[in-house]
Amino acid sequence: MSNNYSPSHPLRLKDVAHWDMETDVAIAGFGIAGACAAIEAHQAGARVCILEVAAAAGGSAALSGGEFYLGGGGGTPVQKAAGFEDATEDFFNYLMMAGGPGADEARVRLYADSALAHYHWLNEQGIPFKGTYLPGKWLEPTTDDTLIWSGSEAAWPFAQQAKPAPRGHAAQMEGWGAGKLIMEKLTARVMQLGVEAHFSSRVLALIADEDNKVHGLVVRIDGQPRMLRAHKGVILCAGGYICNDEMLRRYTPQALGCPVPTTGGNDDGSGIRMGISVGAAAIHMDQFFATRPFFPPGSLVKGIFINENGQRFINEDAYHGRVTHYMLRQPNGRVWLLVDNSIFKRPMTRPDIDIAAVGETWEEVESELGLPQGELTHTVECYNRNAGQGLDPLWHKDAAYLKPLVEAPFAAMSYSERDYPASFFTLGGLSTLTTGQVLDAGGQVIGGLYAAGRTACGLPRWGEGYSSGMSLGDSSFFGREAGRHAAGGA
């Protein structure tokens, strides 16, 4: 048997001397996509084997905020109880806008039509939702409430084309990090169903014939490479590639300006590379989620961001990830939030934020920042004049956040790249159908191969359109789709 295989080179079927293990559906990665794929494939009657390189299930999902982006169908029970109606078409329109110029309409349609049922499915797997609404601007609920505004729904230009509703549904847990609870529940469900699971087991390569049809995979268990035959399909659920510097340099160089990866450490792109090794197309690889959170507290949304030319560049009431993408593209990465005394507070996630300038007048702040004379003061003067009338003709910030910045002292907080590093994760991945079937560069299905979660390019595929909950929503829902289709139970 040849051992000339790696994530970038499949082992050829003809070189497999014998199979060590057999199953119907083999799943690489026991994060949220893998767990949901395993549950559905098992329930569709398939034998399932799930393989996880870490010593336990969880992946990035277990480190996450535990928010799912859900709505439509008139509203989830939580949305309705809080008095929000969420028509499927509004949800669909928002997701299409959030998907950006390359939104996948078929995927958005299926998700918009099915998210309400998916909410109930998640609940049935044991994921608790308290069912209460937390108003205001939050990254994740700091309480055990369920529903928050987790995107740009109420902000320009989204609110103009889709009736806004809060759609971030967090699992019930006091404080941040409910992803841990979600993965405990899903892992328990997978194990209770009797799915064969192997931990500390790295998937090393796909096994494919000369036509690139996938027949199984090579996995290292107890230090030994094992040939696992998958009669119905292999599902790649191995996360994205934020831990792979070479892939970042090649595909997503702009993300290198965000030095803090959001991960547990195994997102090395092996799933994507295995797909590419049998001819899969990888798409939207330049896209990534990024954040340098500036709220809570929500009062800071009433401030204005300026760049080194003293100019505004975004409506500050947009989702923090969208604002961060606009920050990243400002000249020399230099950005400040201007606040007056009435709204000043330090951001919750950066209590030691650098206060770059303070003054009794905006002229003093401008001069302390060393900006071109008259630019910052002109920006503030225009903003204040319009905000006093509830208007923002430049960036259309919602009137609820418009307040003239007139109460001294005035300050500029630094959100510049060098003072406040952004964190990120990747959004590009393998091209798939909504069934999870992986496509080659010509749009043809690669036999026996599926992908879901951040190994695939899913619903979230445009950094500046991302909203919290989209990745867990996408990974769990399309993980299920892949599991069911691979099992042949569609």
Ligand X SMILES: Cc1cc2nc3c(=O)[nH]c(=O)nc-3n(C[C@H](O)[C@H](O)[C@H](O)COP(=O)(O)OP(=O)(O)OC[C@H]3O[C@@H](n4cnc5c(N)ncnc54)[C@H](O)[C@@H]3O)c2cc1C
| Binding site residues, ligand X, CB under 6 A | 28-34, 51-54, 58-61, 63-67, 179, 202-203, 237-239, 262-263, 266-267, 270-271, 425, 453-455, 468-472, 475
Nearer to ligand X, 227 or 369 (CB): 227
Residues 25, 490: Cα–Cα separation, whole Å = 14
Backbone angles phi, psi at 424, to 5 degrees: -155, 165
∠ CA(400), CA(374), CA(390), 5° rounding?
Answer: 15
Q: How far is the CB of 362 from ligand X (least distance, A)?
A: 37
Residue 339 corresponds to which amino acid? V
Q: How far is the CB of 434 from ligand X (least distance, A)?
A: 16
Q: How far is the CB of 468 from ligand X (least distance, A)?
A: 5
Q: How far is the CB of 87 from ligand X (least distance, A)?
A: 22
Nearer to ligand X, 164 or 479 (CB): 479
Residues 203, 222: Cα–Cα separation, whole Å = 12
Q: How far is the CB of 253 from ligand X (least distance, A)?
A: 20
Is the bond preceding residue 101 a cis peptide, omega within 30 degrees?
A: no
Residue 206: how many other CB atoms lie within 10 Å: 29
Residues 330, 403, 161, 294, CA torsion sign: positive
Nearer to ligand X, 130 or 396 (CB): 130
Q: How far is the CB of 96 from ligand X (least distance, A)?
A: 18
First-residue to last-residue Cα distance in the chain: 36
∠ CA(425), CA(291), CA(85), 5° rounding?
Answer: 95
Chain-centroid distance of CA 213 in Å reads 30
Residues 285, 337: Cα–Cα separation, whole Å = 30
Q: How far is the CB of 289 from ligand X (least distance, A)?
A: 7
Nearer to ligand X, 162 or 228 (CB): 228
Nearer to ligand X, 173 or 439 (CB): 173
Q: How far is the CB of 88 from ligand X (least distance, A)?
A: 20
Q: How far is the CB of 138 from ligand X (least distance, A)?
A: 11
Residues 432, 41: Cα–Cα separation, whole Å = 18
Nearer to ligand X, 14 or 224 (CB): 224
Q: Are 35 and 456 in contact (CB under 8 A)?
A: no
- Residue with the closest Cβ to ligand X? 31
- Per DSSP, the three-state class of 324 is helix
Nearer to ligand X, 61 or 369 (CB): 61
Q: What is the DSSP letter of 234?
A: E
Residue 189: its H or E element? helix 179-192
Nearer to ligand X, 66 or 465 (CB): 66
Nearer to ligand X, 88 or 455 (CB): 455
Residues 141, 120: Cα–Cα separation, whole Å = 21
Is the bond preceding residue 297 a cis peptide, omega within 30 degrees?
A: yes
Chain-centroid distance of CA 254 in Å reads 17
Residues 470, 135: Cα–Cα separation, whole Å = 20
Q: How far is the CB of 262 from ligand X (least distance, A)?
A: 3
Residue 112: how many other CB atoms lie within 10 Å: 23
Backbone angles phi, psi at 265, to 5 degrees: 120, -10
Nearer to ligand X, 217 or 365 (CB): 217
